[in-house]
Structure 1
């Protein structure tokens, strides 16, 4: 989905933000994972979804000890339903990738329930984790 369509409709799809910073996506740190294949698979899924979800990459998101990290941002409809971004850690295997693709295609946070196995990989955003540590 291009930006002009987003501006015209005012609707943003669910977005998978894939960390590819210092640890996430690093074959030297996680040699058993084909990081390029995973990212290609996510992008192919987004392209095939007809605009139901998007994929973008970013530099380091912070929780390096839980790499690979993917943030699932809610769509406009999900935000209207009260959803917030969901952080997923240790997102390196095929099952996790499958679950992310299914959930994003179904609408993501606030629109569709996440797969139960994927919920086990939810991690607190870095700011929340720091706040809990101070208590």
Structure 2
């Protein structure tokens, strides 16, 4: 979960309770018995799509081909609910992402570079 210059910033997004979102995610992780983890970082990069979260696959999800999913514009209870439901269902490689959440998937800087190099 990004909490750098733009993500989680009440200066940039004053209408959202960023602390409450992080609290909800941490509470869900604590209640999951280790199935869900929350890590906070300063900046993930795509600031124009803040708030940014990355949903990582579990070990089993990775063995099944799951890749990290970058989610942009992940503010508010609806986005947080979707992310939590998906993570609790197993996340990438295990469970399909909710359709509404897929609309918020963003391309990572590495994906853009790989796509350009294939031209």
Structure 1 position 93, deviation (Å): 1.6
The residue that corresponds to 2:23 in the other structure is 40
The residue that corresponds to 1:53 in the other structure is 36
CA–CA distance in structure 1, aligned partners of residues 49 and 8 of structure 2: 12
Normalising by structure 2, we get a TM-score of 0.93
Instruction: Could you tell me which runs of 5 or more consecutive residues in structure 2 were left unpaired when the two chains were aligned.
Output: none
CA–CA distance in structure 1, aligned partners of residues 96 and 67 of structure 2: 13
The root-mean-square deviation of aligned C-alpha atoms, in Å, is 1.3
CA–CA distance in structure 1, aligned partners of residues 16 and 42 of structure 2: 19
Alignment of 1:115 onto 2:113: no
SS in 2 for 1:71: strand
CA–CA distance in structure 2, aligned partners of residues 104 and 68 of structure 1: 18
CA–CA distance in structure 2, aligned partners of residues 64 and 129 of structure 1: 15
Alignment of 1:80 onto 2:58: no
Between structures 1 and 2, the one with greater strand share = 1
The residue that corresponds to 1:65 in the other structure is 48
SS in 2 for 1:87: strand
Say how many residue pairs are matched. 118
Structure 1 position 131, deviation (Å): 4.3
CA–CA distance in structure 1, aligned partners of residues 65 and 50 of structure 2: 27
